[in-house]
Amino acid sequence: MAPTHDSPSGSDTGNPSPYNDRPLFRYATLLAIRTLRAMRPRTGSVLMLTDRLCVKYGQGVHLAEASTMRFIQENTSLPVPKVVCAFTHHDQTYIVMERIDGEMIGSGWTSRSDKSKSRLLDQLKSMVAELRQLQPPAGMGVASVEGGSLFDVRIHPSMRFGPFDDVEGFHGHLRTGLHLNAGLDPEIQTLIELQSRTWPLKLTHGDLSSLNILARGDDIVGIVDWENAGWLPEYWEYTSACQVNPQNSFWIEEVDKFLTPMPRELEMERLRQKYFADMA
């Protein structure tokens, strides 16, 4: 199977299924959004419906995220939002889920004691280790949980991509199909040589930022925003987590405490971004 062409958000070769797409749920959700969106602030693509429910919706939202959260909940003990229903209406996807009572782990991080930070990071490390124990189905390539397309704003801000038969195909896509030859820039040659290794596929969140980890006191109570998730090369979790944004710049100091450092792969990914950012 060759890599698919980039596809607009909302279409998917893996054809993820709606969940609990009952008429009552569908129309209650749409009515609630119409009623509340002018009165309540929307955080990114998420609108708070009640003190127990929220809905994530918009052109960039995809049913694959709901499938991922359900898969994680069914196969691990990780705290993820419980999906109530997920459906597509007029080319927009809606995921209704239970709210998690917690704050972003980065809130007040610098004022936490070392003991408090260690407790939280140790929990996160155990959760990642549990995620790493999951095995992809036989024949699965680099793909979403259900074998469909992937999304990562760092690769393309609005388009889904893949799936791919294997890591080699994935890397070929990331460097726009270039093969090793002596006429290439020496750093690009180095990149291709580094990418020629093989890595096992691991179920990957893809954005373990402090903005996506919720805590209550000294306990992690939620991991949210699974839109980037999928079966990806083992190093992808680490290199993605190291790409912190200005809102959580302090987090780069913590990543090595809950993920196995992979400096060679990090340098490889930095080379890819230097030459091929937004080109895949």
pLDDT per residue over 142-196, tens digit each? 999 999 999 998 898 889 999 999 999 999 999 999 999 999 999 999 999 999 9
CA neighbor of 231 nearest in space, from 11, 80, 64: 64
What pLDDT is recorded for position 5?
35
169-201: burial string, b at 16+ Cβ within 10 Å, e else: bbbbbbbeeeeeeeebeeebeebbebbeeebeb
What pLDDT is recorded for position 279?
63
What pLDDT is recorded for position 37?
87
Enumerate residue ranges in the chain where pLDDT < 50: 1-12
What pLDDT is recorded for position 1?
33
Domains of the chain, start order: 7-98 (3.30.200), 103-276 (3.90.1200)
Q: What values do phi and psi take at 10, rounded to 5?
A: 110, -20
Q: How is residue 206 written in tokens?
A: 């893809």
- Residue 35's alpha-carbon distances to 23, 29, 60, 119, in angstroms, are 18, 10, 22, 41
103 DSSP β-pair partners: 215
pTM of the model: 0.92
Q: At what angle do helices 263-276 and 186-195 cross, to 10 degrees?
A: 130
CA quadruple 143, 87, 228, 222: dihedral sign: negative
